[in-house]
Amino acid sequence: MQLKFSISIAYFKFSARNKPITSNITFAPLMTLDEEIAKRRTFAIISHPDAGKTTLTEKFLLFGGAIQTAGAVKSNKIKKAATSDFMDIERQRGISVATSVMTFEYNDKIINLLDTPGHKDFAEDTYRTLTAVDSVILVIDCVKGVEAQTEKLMEVCRMRDAPVIIFINKMDREGQNPFDLLDELELKLNIKVRPLSWPISIGQSFKGVYNLYEKSLNIFNPSQTKLTDDIVSISSLNDESLDDYIAPYTNQLREDVSLIEGVYDAFDHKAYLAGKLAPVFFGSAVNNFGVRELLNAFTSIAPPPIPRGTDLREVKPEEKPFTGFVFKIHANLDPRHRDRIAFVRVCSGKFERNKFYTHTRLLKELRFSSPASFMASAKNIIDEAFPGDVIGLYDSGNFKIGDTLTEGEHIHYKGIPSFSPEIFKELVNTDPMKTKQLDKGIRQLTDEGVAQLFTQQPGNRKIVGTVGELQFEVIQYRLQNEYGASCSWRPLQLHKACWVTADDKTELQEFVRLRGQQICLDKDDHFVYMAETRYMLDTLMQNHPHVKFHFTSEFKKDILK
Ligand code: G4P
């Protein structure tokens, strides 16, 4: 995972220091906008750490021809060549702090895979990445089943009705009974499932999977290098030759399949696209098993770029004018250049290099001379990009997460909320000579989405909220290394941060006046009530029925209460 991120970093560095190489992200320049859109699939792989996300990602890249050898993603050689300075902390920790983007071609589709950090302390980062994709592949470890992080991630997917394909991995291990696993998925993830392949035994005696869709057998042959599947077409499960491949599990398979056909409805593509039904595949990523089957299914059923909501209207990808939004920012990729990269998801129209676009929050016209793509090849500066693509824009401090770019229309993309953090600490300046640097550093890091900053007035007291302890270490380290500012943390006992609004402005003002000690401003100067306990929060909610308490900054679907 680290390397994949580093690949992107390395490209950015490369382009910053070398003359830009101009290439085109499109593979057939004469295609119409509609054809470009139809070709694209933009998705993320999500999982609880260790379920096999990195391995599956690597196999996808391998099948897509974006890397040449299995194991390359983790090989030390590449790791050393591509490490970036600010990722020191990640190296020390052995976890991936950031999100990367990988583009490859498969089955005549251009696939944009947005990687997400597996560590729970960086869950916010993952949530935001999910706002930039059109669908998701969820990886489950067949031994462990549904884990804590899986449930949270699925909650976010469901909030957005993102279509989800489930890949049950590690079938070469002694895992749970597949029927029990399916029940657990439905129960804990609150989504209907439909197996499209079915395992024949499991663990040491794992024989392969039966493809319920194509009615073929995929015979398991453990190998970490072999890239072809042993597919056997069978006309009927009553075929006696079945024994040659899967004995003594032939009858078991027949019984399982008849049970599946009896219990589950036929696969409903529309329900999948609406995020109501998740097709399930089984395999073993490390053995390249079931991966091609998964990719084939993905390219045939996953949605192309979909319309997206703004504050004023829904924007369709095929609309001619370009629009897009920033879902991620990386600052200080190279400490010598102080550059920032804003990751923009293209939502409609055609993005063109060197053309002026409107930054709708600042009402500023901006032009980008070296937008980067994330093709896994040496070429990285692009001339144009289409809906579904992710482009990296060099930024001198104009962007915040959620910012929208358009060809002049004053709209703002929705769906990039901040959630209430879980851990709060006060930022204490330990070097008064570096106050300016500290202020700038914490502002920029929180713009990047590393954590949320709440400021209390008067006094400019800064409270930082995160979803994990690790974040505080990252911030402290980066403030020191990138801004020369030192700080310490004072833990605060807070239950939640709630954004507060009211239809009647005077009601809100009165509430803010009364609760002055517990009111902060977020990065966009919205009022936030810092609840000390759940009891206090419940009491206040009862006492102020006209004040609305929101658990995400977007004030819409408050799922993470
Ligand atoms: P993550 O990104 O979701 O955190 O998981 P990752 O791919 O790093 O996989 C976690 C571990 O599970 C790795 O082993 C990986 O090799 C192993 N794994 C992945 N897919 C399969 C599978 O289908 N079967 C089996 N048996 N194992 C699988 P590791 O020992 O942590 O790392 P490594 O030394 O193998 O690289």
Average pLDDT, the chain: 82
CA dist 173 and 435 (Å) reads: 54
16 Cα: distance to centroid of ligand 1 (angstroms): 34
- Which of 324, 341, 369, 356 has its CA nearest to residue 22? 369
Residue extents of the structural domains in the chain: 39-301, 308-406, 423-560
- Please report, rounded to a whole number, the percentage of residues in the chain having pLDDT higher than 70: 81
pLDDT tens string 484-541: 999 999 999 999 899 999 998 898 999 999 998 899 998 888 899 999 999 999 999 9
Q: What is the model's pLDDT at position 430?
A: 94
Asked: is 308-406 a CATH 3.40.50.300 domain? The reply is yes
Q: Mention every residue, 6+ apart, whose C-beta is less than 8 A from residue 275.
A: 157, 158, 160, 161, 162, 163, 164, 191
DSSP for 253-279 reads HHHHHHHHHHHSPPP-HHHHHTTSEEE
Longest dimension (CA), the chain: 82
Q: Whose CA is nearest to atom 31 of ligand 1?
A: 50
Compute the average pLDDT of residues 465-472: 84
CA dist 89 and 84 (Å) reads: 10
241: burial class by Cβ within 10 Å (0-12, 13-18, 19+)?
A: exposed
Compute the average pLDDT of residues 321-330: 91
Which residues, listed in sequence order, are joined to residue 110 by a DSSP beta bridge? 40, 105
DSSP state of 19: P
Q: What is the model's pLDDT at position 191?
A: 92
Q: Which two tokens stand for residue 293?
A: 């089957």
pLDDT tens string 118-144: 666 666 778 888 889 999 999 999 999
Q: Which two tokens stand for residue 223?
A: 């190998």
| pLDDT at residue 74 greater than cutoff 80 | no
The H or E element spanning position 221 is none
β-strand pairing of 135-141 with 40-47? parallel
Q: Mention every residue, 6+ apart, whose C-beta is less than 8 A from residue 46.
A: 53, 116, 126, 130, 136, 137, 138, 139, 150, 153, 157
Position in ligand 1 atom list of the atom nearest CA 139: 3
Q: What is the model's pLDDT at position 2?
A: 35
Q: What is the model's pLDDT at position 276?
A: 94
474 Cα: distance to centroid of ligand 1 (angstroms): 26
Ligand 1 contact, 286 CB (< 6 A): yes
Residue 82 — left, alpha, or beta (φ > 0 → left; ψ -120 to 50 → alpha)? alpha
Which residue's structure tokens are 């749970």?
176
Ligand 1 contact, 285 CB (< 6 A): yes
Q: What is the model's pLDDT at position 1?
A: 33
Compute the average pLDDT of residues 378-399: 84
Position in ligand 1 atom list of the atom nearest CA 118: 4
Position in ligand 1 atom list of the atom nearest CA 74: 36
Q: Whose CA is nearest to atom 29 of ligand 1?
A: 50
Q: Whose CA is nearest to atom 6 of ligand 1?
A: 52
Please name the CATH architecture into which domain 39-301 falls.
3-Layer(aba) Sandwich (3.40)
Task: Report which of residues 224 and 312 the model is more confident about.
Answer: 312
Highest mean pLDDT: which of 70-74, 223-227, 468-472?
Answer: 468-472
CA dist 98 and 84 (Å) reads: 12
Flag the least confident range among 67-81, 102-116, 318-332: 67-81
Q: Whose CA is nearest to atom 14 of ligand 1?
A: 50
β-strand pairing of 109-114 with 40-47? parallel
Q: What is the model's pLDDT at position 148?
A: 83
346 Cα: distance to centroid of ligand 1 (angstroms): 33
Q: What is the model's pLDDT at position 9?
A: 32
Position in ligand 1 atom list of the atom nearest CA 173: 26
148 Cα: distance to centroid of ligand 1 (angstroms): 18
Ligand 1 contact, 288 CB (< 6 A): no
- Which of 200, 133, 127 has its CA nearest to residue 162? 133
Count other C-beta atoms under 10 Å from residue 326's C-beta: 27
Ligand 1 contact, 284 CB (< 6 A): yes
Q: What is the model's pLDDT at position 177?
A: 94
**Class of CATH domain 423-560:** alpha beta
Q: What is the model's pLDDT at position 554?
A: 64
Q: Which two tokens stand for residue 390?
A: 């992710």
Q: What is the model's pLDDT at position 229?
A: 67
Q: Whose CA is nearest to atom 24 of ligand 1?
A: 170
CA end-to-end span of the chain, whole Å?
Answer: 30
| pLDDT at residue 427 greater than cutoff 90 | yes
CA dist 516 and 522 (Å) reads: 15
| pLDDT at residue 307 greater than cutoff 60 | yes
264: burial class by Cβ within 10 Å (0-12, 13-18, 19+)?
A: middle
Q: What is the model's pLDDT at position 84?
A: 35
Highest mean pLDDT: which of 147-156, 228-237, 314-323, 363-372?
Answer: 314-323
CA dist 101 and 115 (Å) reads: 6
267 Cα: distance to centroid of ligand 1 (angstroms): 30
| pLDDT at residue 51 greater than cutoff 80 | yes
Q: Does this chain's domain 308-406 share its CATH topology with 423-560?
A: no
Ligand 1 contact, 149 CB (< 6 A): no
Helices (H), ranges, 22-95: 33-39, 53-63, 76-82, 88-93
Task: Fill in the amino acid letter for 253.
Answer: L
Q: What is the model's pLDDT at position 69?
A: 54
Report whether 407 contacts 359 (CB < 8 A). Answer: no
Report whether 296 contacts 373 (CB < 8 A). Answer: no
Task: Report which of residues 363 and 14 the model is more confident about.
Answer: 363
Ligand 1 contact, 379 CB (< 6 A): no
Compute the average pLDDT of residues 548-553: 82
85 Cα: distance to centroid of ligand 1 (angstroms): 26
What Å distances lie between residue 339 and 13, 83, 367, 438, 474, CA to CA?
10, 16, 16, 18, 19
Flag the least confident range among 90-99, 467-476, 528-537: 90-99
Compute the average pLDDT of residues 416-436: 87
- Which of 287, 303, 291, 316 has its CA nearest to residue 109? 303
Compute the average pLDDT of residues 18-29: 44
Highest mean pLDDT: which of 217-226, 288-297, 440-449?
Answer: 288-297
pLDDT tens string 231-279: 777 778 888 888 888 889 999 999 999 999 999 999 999 999 999 999 9
| pLDDT at residue 12 greater than cutoff 60 | no
- Which of 499, 296, 325, 295 has its CA nearest to residue 401? 325
